[in-house]
Chain A
């Protein structure tokens, strides 16, 4: 395990490089302009992200990856969440992680977008039943592939290995449902669809745990920035001759949001450290569920409080806070709802939390 100084330096570099994608001044005009457009994200930004190695962040050197830890991945995801970045990095990085050493060069380079189509249902981490493989073809269904309109191919984990299918292959139907954040959720039907590539079964559960934790970090970034915007509004907005942030009724609710955000930060950091360290690997799903349950609830808490504290302007589409609300609504339940993670946490910890 690299020492804390090296990790700190890696994080500093990766957060710096993320500034090329997420404007430091918080400008959201790019995000606004991509909403409900063809793909919902910008392929050239996606390529930039790939060129910086982000898709292969978790892959080892020999697979052309950066070999970085979850602490670095979470730091990156947090910045992306703060900027509401629509490019489907977590889904694409998951696809690369599932393909491991077999991931094609053009995919790592961001020239071809391959997204993970792993999900069997709308609210949990089940992936084993949706699709079966038979003689070079795949049959079945996968749900909720984010930003699926921009995918060139899908990486599908099955019990017999990870299959890659081209988005234009015969027997593949993609039903796109527009989502609140301006993207789409792709519902995939496969009927004897030709497989382009099959990779021996990877540790799918471990890969999903990493994506779950990265999503928690994305939600942390989202909640942190939405809270900061709201805090600034409390300082400048005046009613009854005073800034509304001087009223104790709002102050104490702002304090409660801050408390939840800092709990989320500690939870995500502790989880990332557990993935990177020498702690018992069985703690990883426990920690991932702990962090994701908190992050989902925090993001939704901050979202609804942000609307209320902005007053009527918060209910308009022109106010940026709404972009955070709609992203939180879309992402909070990805990679398992808070309830799903609470159940999983309970089933994995028969004793009170090993803290």
Chain B
């Protein structure tokens, strides 16, 4: 695939940029589902991924020298808003959102040259291998082990809650490389081809009855020695930096903004839109969303300037996920008995209270549960004493 020429969109006015995105989406969105409540699989969303890549718009958050857009925070938000407005599917973006920024910051030149273009081309589809059955909120307790044998790492263990793991052909993992030191100090960051011998994947059905999650098993999996990112045993530090990115991304107002539109549609459908009691509750949520967006922009701006994301990003993660849930709860309430439907109301995917409600549940669990986030906030930001 020829590389698209870099086109700097930052000089456009916000309104012109918005219109450019809107036009592009309307003219180019492929024949795949819109307003889907579930994450689409790679075989479904790949056409959209490739269209974005051809336009040079796949990685708005990456610097131009790596094929990104180097886009301002405000314009990144506008882009997301326009995608949401049209109901565009979310692409498999773990490589773009999570791994790309980490490689750009910590990877060797050879790693950047090899991996980044392959993310853009879609040749590599990434999954994240962090959580394990006994390392959830206590992520530093990972037990998946990597041992250096000559020029290869040999990996044994199990990862779980791997989102869209069955679509991926590469996975980045946190693996234990030293058992003799403090748990955080013995973890390395490795890049593993899932096509290698010894990797097996099993899907898990979630509460929405979708197979988005996976378990990934590693049984004497051998990878090249240079598929280590950063130094041996520095994986925790890098992953924490990446978690900052993840929490900014999870803190995006996108989910809540999307849910609020659905809440409004449901309110109109159920004839409560003009009820003043409903409207006051709606306006509170609307204001929460507007302030979340204001806070989110300050973090996206930090990312864009290349500033480190501190532990205060937990604020964003907690508030976004809990706001998303509160919106979904009001939607479930006003849906009346239709709240129990497995299928959407009137066949409109946006009028699906149960799906919205269920989709909102794990957001306060993954990427660090709200309870752990509050603990981190108290310890690392407020300086409150430990028990």
A residues apposed to B, CB below 8 Å:
231, 234-235, 242-243, 245-248, 251-252, 254-256, 258-259, 262-264, 266-267, 269-270, 290, 293-294, 339, 342-343, 345-346, 349, 352-353, 355
Contacts and interface: CB of A to CB of B under 8 A. Distances in A.
Interface in B80-102: 81
A346 B283 contact: yes
Interface stretch (B39-47, B134-142, B359-367, B370-378): B370-378
Given A352-B257, A353-B286, A353-B290, A262 B264 contact: no
Contact of A259 (B282, B318, B375): B318
A290 B257 contact: no
B268 to A, nearest CB: 13
Contact of A246 (B315, B374, B387): B387
Interface string B275-315: 00001101110111111111101100000000000001001
Nearest to A290: B290
Contacts of B378: 245, 251-252, 254-255
Interface residues of B, number: 40
A245 B286 CA distance: 33
Given A251-B374, A259-B315, A355 B385 contact: no
B345 interface: no
B279 A346 contact: yes
Given A251-B375, A258-B377, A259-B318, A353 B384 contact: no
A259 B286 contact: no
Which among A254, A267, A290, A352 has the greatest number of chain B C-beta atoms within 10 A? A352
Chain B interface mostly helix, strand, loop or mixed? helix
B104 to A, nearest CB: 25
A5 to B, nearest CB: 14
B374 A355 contact: no
B73 to A, nearest CB: 12
Given A245-B385, A246-B387, A352 B292 contact: no
A353 B253 CA distance: 11
B261 interface: yes
B257 A355 contact: yes
A263 B291 contact: yes
Given A258-B381, A342-B283, A247 B297 contact: no
Given A252-B371, A254-B382, A355-B253, 10 more contacts: A251-B374, A251-B384, A255-B378, A259-B315, A259-B377, A266-B291, A266-B298, A290-B291, A294-B287, A355-B77
Which among B260, B261, B284 has the greatest number of chain A C-beta atoms within 10 A? B284
Nearest to A273: B294
Contacts of B312: 262
B385 A345 contact: no
Which among A231, A251, A255, A346 has the greatest number of chain B C-beta atoms within 10 A? A255
Given A231-B384, A234-B384, A349 B292 contact: no
B384 A254 contact: yes
Given A345-B287, A346-B286, A267 B384 contact: no
B62 interface: no
A355 B291 CA distance: 9
Contacts of A290: 287, 290-291
